[in-house]
Amino acid sequence: MTDVTDLFPGFDSHWVDTDVGRIFARVGGNGPPLLLLHGFPQTHVMWHRLAPELSRHFSVVAMDLRGYGWSVAPQSKNGELYTKREMGRDVVTVMEDLGHVRFRICGHDRGGRVGYRLALDHPGHVEKLALLDILPTSQVWKNIREGGTPAAHWAFLSQREPVPETEIKKGPDAYFEGLITGWTQEKSLRCFDARALRQYRDAWGDPSRIHAMCEDYRAGARQDLEADEADLAAGRTIGCPTLVLSGDFFLTRGTGPSGLSVWQQTLAPQAQGGLIDAGHFIAEENPTAVLDALLAFL
Count of domains for the chain: 1
The residue range of the domain holding 267 is 5-297
**Residue 224 a catalytic site member:** no
**Cβ atoms within 10 Å, residue 101:** 10
**Cα 276 off chain centre by:** 17
pLDDT at 254: 47
Which among 90, 109, 216, 224 is annotated as catalytic?
109
Domain at 146, CATH number: 3.40.50.1820
pLDDT of 195 reads 96
Helix and strand numbers (H, E) in the chain are 13, 8
Question: Tens digits of per-residue pLDDT, 275-284?
Answer: 999 999 999 9
Contacts of 204 (CB under 8 A, 6+ apart): 41, 172, 173, 176, 210, 213
The residues of the chain scoring below 50 in pLDDT are: 252, 254
- Position 248 scores a pLDDT of 82
Task: Give dist(CA 241, CA 272) in Å, integer.
Answer: 8
Three-class secondary structure of residue 4 per DSSP:
coil
* pLDDT value at residue 253: 55
Please tell me what DSSP assigns to residue 246.
Answer: E
Tell me the sheet residues that pair with 278.
none
Q: String of b and e for 30-67 (b: at least 16 CB within 10 Å)?
A: eeebbbbbbbbbbbbbbbbbbbbbbbeebbbbbbbbbb
Q: What is the pLDDT of residue 2?
A: 62
Residue 125 annotated as catalytic: no
Type of residue found at 172: P
